[in-house]
């Protein structure tokens, strides 16, 4: 592992967390850097413009259709009858469009219009209690018991809440953004009615609104959390795969000021990971946000114990990134989107909850775009680590605490030595496989060359010549040789 320069830490200026419009509230990457208030204003303007354009287009097409149909008719009586029919049709069409648009943007206090809308449905509404889970039933009982203390005001709130749940059931075919808008409009309307008409104190209004949100979001959780019409599930799998691929990232690479060898710090890290994972088990956005806040406070405590001084914002974000990488929370993107859409906007725009949530969004965005330059690594090392071909050697700590156990120090030295031996063995095995491959290729090459030569220069095998007769054979005349000597016997 080669470092290009000294690591200066992951720094996010405070101004980068604020709304792009400059209103002073915290922004959110899910809202393109705007706060909830500015985003809703921008969204409403764009939507109103789109609705106006759709109306103009529908009216123009209607006029063209009327003119084309009227011109095809013959006779003044037929033309007058046709015109009257189209006038009636046009009026009905306009009425239907106005009703549809009002459903999106009308205040939730208009109980009469919503009641008429529900009564016009063909099929009766199934009982919500039969579809709810055990937790939803428990929350419903708690909600009813809570409203009993408010007498008439509680009855009116329960009536409006019940009507809103039934309306949301019929609006499940709308996009999740439109359902979020309807829900936020209902919250705002109930809040205003309690303060103006009911004259309920602001302290009690906040408690009532928390109970209303808890009741509503628990009942509609399975419909609005990670709906099939969105790509949240795809994003969840992508970020999980990304975090698994980054399991080699060490605290030193992120400049995390946390020493997990201290027992108290290690406990805080475990608690922080537990809280960020527990977020997925909560159904109410406020409870999910509370898990993020508890996780962040454990992180600040871990930094404070390690440094013996209060933690700064520049220390918090790298540590939060490390906690997310180490915990790999389930359905992370879906939980962030769910909180963004259905949590009280005031909680996300200001206060510690909004600050911690904004930092979590920044941490996820950093993980998605993390590259070699972000960790001060060479591209070659980064690619090797990402492909799991090798892992960075654990850097030996230069700042051991005075009371650190000698056995722990020796253990880390042995782990470092084993890591080096493992890398060396991997290199030897890689070179051995390469040598084996080269030998096989050389043998195959030689065999091919021999085969080519044999095919190019064919051998002609001729039959052997007739053997010559021996010198002392019987056919000696042909060689014009004298006859062999005959032994002679002499008498002595």
Give 232-259 pLDDT, tens digit per residue. 999 999 999 999 999 899 898 999 999 9
Distance (Å, whole) CA 89 – CA 96: 11
The share of the chain scoring above pLDDT 90, in percent, equals 30
Record the tokens describing residue 381, joined without a space: 């090392």
Q: Contacts from 106-115 at CB under 8 Å and sequence distance 24+?
A: 107/185, 107/189, 108/160, 108/164, 108/182, 108/185, 108/186, 108/189, 108/190, 109/160, 109/189, 109/190, 109/193, 111/159, 111/160, 111/163, 114/163, 114/164, 114/167, 115/163
Q: Are 272 and 264 in contact (CB under 8 A)?
A: no
**What is the per-residue pLDDT for 205?**
86
**What is the per-residue pLDDT for 25?**
63
Helix axis angle for 285-307 and 263-278, nearest 10°, is: 170
Chain segment 24-49, per-residue pLDDT in tens: 666 666 556 666 667 666 666 666 66
Distance (Å, whole) CA 407 – CA 413: 10
The residue whose two tokens read 């009026």 is 91
Question: Would you say residue 86 has pLDDT above 70?
Answer: no
**What is the per-residue pLDDT for 421?**
87
Distance (Å, whole) CA 43 – CA 115: 28
Distance (Å, whole) CA 80 – CA 103: 35
Lowest mean pLDDT among 7-11, 76-80, 357-361, 386-390: 76-80
Chain segment 164-223, per-residue pLDDT in tens: 998 888 887 888 888 998 999 999 898 888 888 767 787 888 888 999 999 999 999 988
Mean pLDDT of 120-148: 65
The residue whose two tokens read 């209103």 is 23
Question: Would you say residue 128 has pLDDT above 50?
Answer: no
pLDDT tier at 148, thresholds 50, 70, 90: confident
Angle CA 219–220–221, to nearest 5: 95
Q: Are 344 and 286 in contact (CB under 8 A)?
A: yes
DSSP H helix total and E strand total for the chain = 19, 0
**Phi/psi at 18 (nearest 5 deg)?**
-90, 165
**What is the per-residue pLDDT for 80?**
46
Distance (Å, whole) CA 140 – CA 12: 43
**What is the per-residue pLDDT for 172?**
79
The share of the chain scoring above pLDDT 70, in percent, equals 66
Lowest mean pLDDT among 2-11, 245-254, 351-360: 2-11
Q: Are 10 and 321 in contact (CB under 8 A)?
A: yes
Bridge partners, 18 (sequence order) = 26
**What is the per-residue pLDDT for 347?**
81
The more confidently predicted of residues 22 and 279 is: 279
Question: Would you say residue 113 has pLDDT above 50?
Answer: no
Report the Cα 393 to chain-centroid distance in Å: 29
Distance (Å, whole) CA 12 – CA 35: 18
Report the Cα 223 to chain-centroid distance in Å: 20
> Mean pLDDT score of the chain, rounded to an integer?
77
Sign of the CA dihedral running 406, 318, 394, 277: positive
**DSSP letter string, 161-202:** HHHHHHHHHHTTTS-HHHHHHHHHHHHHHHHHHHHHTS---H
**What is the per-residue pLDDT for 294?**
96
Q: Are 259 and 322 in contact (CB under 8 A)?
A: no
pTM of the predicted model, to two decimals?
Answer: 0.60
**What is the per-residue pLDDT for 115?**
42
Bridge partners, 26 (sequence order) = 18
* Distance set, CA 378 to CA 3, 63, 253, 374 (Å): 7, 66, 13, 10
Report the Cα 323 to chain-centroid distance in Å: 16
Chain segment 388-438, per-residue pLDDT in tens: 877 775 444 445 555 556 777 777 778 878 888 888 898 899 999 999 999
Mean pLDDT of 92-102: 49
Mean pLDDT of 63-91: 56
Sign of the CA dihedral running 447, 452, 457, 462: positive
Residues near 14 by Cβ (< 8 Å), separated by ≥ 6? Answer: 313
**What is the per-residue pLDDT for 150?**
81
The DSSP symbol for 33 reads: T
Q: Contacts from 176-182 at CB under 8 Å and sequence distance 24+?
A: 176/224, 176/227, 176/229, 176/230, 176/341, 177/43, 177/341, 178/104, 179/224, 180/224, 180/341, 180/342, 181/40, 181/43, 181/104, 181/105, 182/104, 182/108
CB atoms within 10 A of CB 102: 13
Chain segment 274-285, per-residue pLDDT in tens: 999 999 999 999
Q: Are 213 and 284 in contact (CB under 8 A)?
A: yes
Chain segment 301-347, per-residue pLDDT in tens: 999 999 998 888 889 999 999 999 999 999 999 999 999 999 888 88
**What is the per-residue pLDDT for 156?**
87
**What is the per-residue pLDDT for 88?**
57
**What is the per-residue pLDDT for 5?**
37
Record the tokens describing residue 436, joined without a space: 């084996």
* Residue 186 CB burial class (10 angstroms; 0-12, 13-18, ≥19): buried
């Amino acid at each position: 592992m080669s470092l290009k320069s000294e690591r200066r830490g992951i720094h996010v200026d405070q101004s980068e967390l604020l709304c792009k419009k400059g209103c002073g509230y915290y922004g959110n990457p899910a809202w393109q850097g705007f706060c909830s208030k500015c985003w809703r204003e921008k969204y409403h303007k764009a939507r109103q413009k789109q609705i106006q354009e759709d109306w103009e287009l529908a009216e123009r097409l209607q006029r063209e259709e009327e003119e084309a149909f009227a011109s095809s008719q013959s006779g003044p009586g037929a033309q007058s009858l046709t015109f009257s029919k189209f006038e009636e049709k046009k009026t009905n069409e306009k009425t239907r469009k106005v009703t549809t648009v009002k459903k999106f943007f009308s205040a939730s206090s208009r109980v009469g219009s919503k009641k008429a809308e529900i009564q016009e449905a063909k099929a009766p509404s199934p009982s919500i209690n039969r579809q709810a889970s055990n937790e939803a039933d428990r929350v419903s009982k708690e909600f009813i018991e809570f409203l009993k203390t408010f007498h008439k005001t509680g009855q009116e709130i329960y009536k409006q809440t019940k009507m809103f749940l039934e309306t949301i059931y019929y609006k499940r075919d709308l996009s999740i953004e439109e359902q979020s808008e309807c829900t936020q409009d209902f919250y705002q309307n109930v809040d205003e009615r309690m303060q103006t008409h009911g004259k309920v104190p602001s302290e009690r209004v906040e408690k009532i609104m928390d109970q209303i949100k808890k009741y509503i979001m628990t009942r509609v959780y399975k419909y609005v959390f990670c709906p099939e019409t969105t790509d949240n599930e795809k994003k969840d799998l992508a970020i999980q795969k990304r975090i698994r691929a980054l399991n080699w990232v060490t605290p030193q690479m992120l400049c995390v000021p946390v020493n997990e060898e201290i027992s108290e710090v290690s406990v805080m890290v475990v608690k922080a990971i537990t809280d960020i994972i527990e977020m997925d088990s909560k159904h109410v956005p406020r409870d999910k946000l509370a898990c993020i806040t508890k996780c962040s406070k454990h992180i600040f405590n871990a930094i404070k114990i390690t440094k013996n001084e209060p933690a700064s914002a520049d220390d918090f974000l790298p540590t939060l990134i490390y906690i997310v990488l180490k915990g790999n929370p389930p359905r992370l993107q879906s939980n962030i989107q769910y909180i963004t859409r259905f949590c009280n906007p005031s909680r996300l725009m200001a206060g510690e909850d909004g600050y911690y949530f904004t930092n979590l969004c920044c941490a996820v965005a950093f993980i998605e775009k993390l590259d070699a330059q972000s960790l001060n690594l060479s591209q070659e090392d980064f690619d090797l680590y990402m492909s799991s071909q090798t892992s960075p050697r654990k850097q030996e700590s230069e700042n051991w605490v005075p009371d650190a156990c000698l056995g722990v120090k020796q253990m880390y030295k042995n782990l470092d030595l084993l890591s080096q031996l493992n890398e060396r063995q991997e290199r030897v095995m890689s070179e051995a496989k390469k040598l084996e491959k080269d030998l096989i290729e050389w043998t195959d090459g030689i065999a091919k060359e021999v085969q080519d030569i044999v095919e190019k220069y064919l051998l002609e095998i001729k039959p052997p010549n007739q053997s010559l007769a021996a010198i002392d054979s019987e056919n000696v005349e042909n060689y014009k040789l004298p006859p062999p000597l005959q032994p002679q016997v002499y008498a002595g």
